[in-house]
Amino acid sequence: MSFLSTLNSRWAATGSLLCVGLDPDPDKFPNSLRNDVGSIARFCIDIIDATAEFVCAFKPQIAYFAAVAAEHQLEQVCHHIRANHPTIPLILDAKRGDIGDTAALYAREAFDRYGAHAVTVSPYLGTDSIEPFLAHSGKGVFVLCRTSNAGSGEFQSQVSHGLPLYQHIASRAASDWATKGEVGLVVGATYPAELKIVRDIVGDMTLLVPGIGAQGGDPHAVITHGSNSVGRGLIVNSSRAILYASSTDHAAGAHAAARAAAATLV
């Protein structure tokens, strides 16, 4: 099944818009795992199994693995999702953006090495930097549009030809990129007014929405302003608020807290 077909099936089966972001920081692990880089895969897999029934997707962030030379553990995590939760889409948060030949290699990394169903990319280098990802039939490509970080407006809100840059990106995604593949946009929960503007531009396109939980985004505002015409169209990501929901020193308690936190966000 294609990414969008898998996602639509998951939405229908669970009614959930929640995506759990896998941002493993060994400094924040329970005591039995703390500061042990070798335990990253174990920590993530336990979180995955604890929260799987409540989610529409999982989103591992590649930097948390690559920074500590744990790419092999990322492969293990991705394999676990595909093998044990095959109905749940896997989105690799990589934010790649480079010239065509290099972008083609980044696409192979995401889709062939890690087996992701979708990947996040930057549009800054233009359409030819996105096309190598779109060339992978049935895979999802989430383009950064209006991101959740505090400094995002420095460039994304700059006005060109009467519109801020993020609106140009949304328009290009709807009119061009979506005709070439399974395209969505990344729009932060921290900017609900802009989220509504993007939804109005792109129609029923899928939006990946980070910024719930630790960054302060309001889930109700996201659903109100971001849902599509059938009340879906959103993948609402929460990472730290679920991964580190408990202050317990015991792994079992941490996983139970993550499960409870995920249940409250569904």
Query: Which pLDDT belongs to residue 55?
Result: 97
Q: Are 143 and 130 in contact (CB under 8 A)?
A: yes
For the cut 70, the answer to whether the pLDDT of residue 247 exceeds it is: no
Q: Are 211 and 223 in contact (CB under 8 A)?
A: no
What is the pLDDT at residue 264?
A: 74
For range 253-261, the mean pLDDT? 75
* DSSP structural state of residue 210: -
Catalytic annotation present for 95 = yes
Q: What is the pLDDT of residue 253?
A: 62
107: β partners: none
Q: Give me the pLDDT at residue 237, please.
A: 95
> How much of the chain exceeds pLDDT 70, in percent?
95
Residues 6+ apart with CB under 8 A from 228: 199, 203, 204, 205, 234
Return the pLDDT at 258. Answer: 80
In angstroms, the CA 129 to CA 141 distance is: 12
- Catalytic entry in 95, 139, 180, 196: 95
pLDDT score at 214: 67
Domains of the chain in sequence order: 3-265 (3.20.20.70)
Write down the pLDDT at residue 216. 75
